Amino acid sequence: MSEIMTDGQGMALAAEGITVKLRSNAKITWEKFLQHKLAVVASLFLLTLAALCFLAPLIAPFEFDAIDLANIRKPPSAKHLLGTDALGRDLLTRLLYGGRISITIGLTAAMLGTAIGTLIGSMAGYFGGRIDNLLMRLTDLAYSIPTLPLIIVISSYSNTQAVGIVMIIGFFSWMQTSRVVRGAILSVKENEYVTAARALGSKDRLIIVRHVLPNISNSIIVGATLGVGNAIITESSLSFLGLGVSPPTPTWGNMLMDSQATMSSQPWLTIFPGMAILLTVLCVNFIGDGLQDALDPTL
């Protein structure tokens, strides 16, 4: 008889001479993720796009700031596969270089926001009482502030470089994560393994890091994944308004800003960066859905 079960059950049955097949949690999670076809396709597409963007210095046909006034706003052709912009710069090259900035900002800003939200949510959920009340009121206050207008105001007074944009987006995207982490910790902090760790004299910091956070990692990972899409959209919005990364460094957002005056007459200038943003955010959301199903212990 062959069964799929936990390590403890497998050892007990093996002692009775019953053949068992053991699988690790990582393997089970991976198999469940592979069952989500859209997430798998989105992962392959996003990995391919990211690889092309980060290999842009090696594979791009031109320099991203190479001006060619003899080929202004040319439609897609054999020489310029996606056409050229108002200064004759190759659109494919700028799309690849812009993807490096947009994807990097999305990833790092999401990681920063997730780290801040996890820290605040962990303290609020684990310690409770006055600490919980103070941190949650701080979260409510941050939620009550209109985020995008505030980010626009701060960006207009800051040095609009990639690092500054990451800091601004990250510091204003932690609230949802903090609430999710707090709720998850409230549901697990009274479990037996946490009580046993307290009885053994473990410090609160070690209990949170070693015992609590690993058991709510599914909520954190899914939240971080979806945060990448939100960060990319926010960066693109800032760049579209002229408050993002300064030209001539390309991002998908400032490429849209440059093309807004010619949307009807030269649509390729708008379609390609717009599709890059749309497909990237869509793929990130599909991956988040796949991870949510794969990491859900109830499924």
From first to last of its 299 residues, what are the pLDDT tens digits of the chain? 344 444 455 455 445 555 445 567 778 888 888 888 999 999 999 999 999 999 988 888 888 888 888 888 888 888 888 888 888 899 999 999 999 988 998 899 999 999 999 999 999 998 888 999 999 999 988 888 887 787 877 777 766 677 778 888 888 888 889 998 998 898 888 888 888 888 888 888 888 888 888 888 888 888 888 888 888 888 888 888 777 777 778 888 888 888 887 777 888 888 999 899 999 999 998 998 888 888 776 65
Q: What pLDDT, on the 0 to 100 scale, is given for residue 167?
A: 84
- Provide the β-strand partners of residue 5: 22
Statement to judge: residues 21 and 91 lie in one domain: no
End-to-end CA distance of the chain: 24
Buried b (16+ CB within 10 A) or exposed e, 220-256: bbbbbbbbbbbbbbbbbbbbbeebbbeeebbbbbbbb
Domain containing 22 equals 1-29
Confirm if 265 and 180 have CB atoms less than 8 A apart: no
CA torsion sign for 227, 228, 234, 237 is negative
Statement to judge: residues 145 and 15 lie in one domain: no
Statement to judge: residues 56 and 23 lie in one domain: no
Statement to judge: residues 131 and 276 lie in one domain: yes
The count of structural domains within the chain is 2
Statement to judge: residues 77 and 218 lie in one domain: yes
Degrees, nearest 5: CA angle 188-192-197: 95
Statement to judge: residues 104 and 22 lie in one domain: no
Q: What pLDDT, on the 0 to 100 scale, is given for residue 79?
A: 86
Q: What pLDDT, on the 0 to 100 scale, is given for residue 44?
A: 94
Degrees, nearest 5: CA angle 271-275-278: 140
Q: What pLDDT, on the 0 to 100 scale, is given for residue 22?
A: 56
Q: What pLDDT, on the 0 to 100 scale, is given for residue 159?
A: 62
Q: What pLDDT, on the 0 to 100 scale, is given for residue 40?
A: 93
Q: What pLDDT, on the 0 to 100 scale, is given for residue 198?
A: 84
Q: What pLDDT, on the 0 to 100 scale, is given for residue 60?
A: 86
Confirm if 74 and 269 have CB atoms less than 8 A apart: no
Statement to judge: residues 24 and 103 lie in one domain: no
Dihedral, 139, 144, 149, 151 alpha carbons, nearest 10: -10
DSSP secondary structure letter of residue 71: G
Statement to judge: residues 23 and 102 lie in one domain: no
Tokens of 139: 């979260």
Q: What pLDDT, on the 0 to 100 scale, is given for residue 45?
A: 94
Statement to judge: residues 41 and 128 lie in one domain: yes
Establish how many alpha carbons lie within 13 A of residue 251's alpha carbon, considering only the half-sphere containing its beta carbon.
29
Statement to judge: residues 22 and 132 lie in one domain: no
- CATH, residue 139: 1.10.3720.10
Q: Which of 230, 190, 238, 231 is nearest to 212 (CA)?
A: 190
Statement to judge: residues 196 and 273 lie in one domain: yes
Q: What pLDDT, on the 0 to 100 scale, is given for residue 13?
A: 47
Confirm if 181 and 219 have CB atoms less than 8 A apart: yes
Q: What pLDDT, on the 0 to 100 scale, is given for residue 208?
A: 86
Confirm if 97 and 64 have CB atoms less than 8 A apart: yes
Confirm if 94 and 67 have CB atoms less than 8 A apart: no
Statement to judge: residues 56 and 5 lie in one domain: no
